[in-house]
Amino acid sequence: MESVGIKEALRVDKVLSILTAKDVPINEYGLEILDQPVLCGPGSNKPGADRVRFIGDQIALIIAETAKIASHARDLIHV
């Protein structure tokens, strides 16, 4: 992945914030070993996490007033 475009999604009314990998300073978690990225994509500090490998990789966290608003914003994110 070369970029995550969130500008259009951020303009949706009542979307409070959208975080991507570059916004997560410690971008790793795991039950026993910190071997999984919190968010994948450009700006990740975890080796290899700057790439999205499958459709289930998380690339953004949308904070909105309702789930419906967050879903609408999600559809406006360009990868």
Alpha-carbon span 8 to 36, nearest angstrom: 28
Q: Can you give the residue ranges of every domain in the chain?
A: 7-74
> Model confidence over 19-75: pLDDT tens digits?
999 999 888 989 999 888 899 998 888 888 888 888 888 999 999 999 999 999 999
Alpha-carbon span 14 to 64, nearest angstrom: 6
pTM of the model: 0.84
Query: Helix (H, G, I), strand (E, B), or coil: what is residue 20?
Result: coil
Classified by CATH at the fold level, domain 7-74 comes out as Aldehyde Oxidoreductase; domain 3 (3.90.1170)
Alpha-carbon span 9 to 53, nearest angstrom: 23
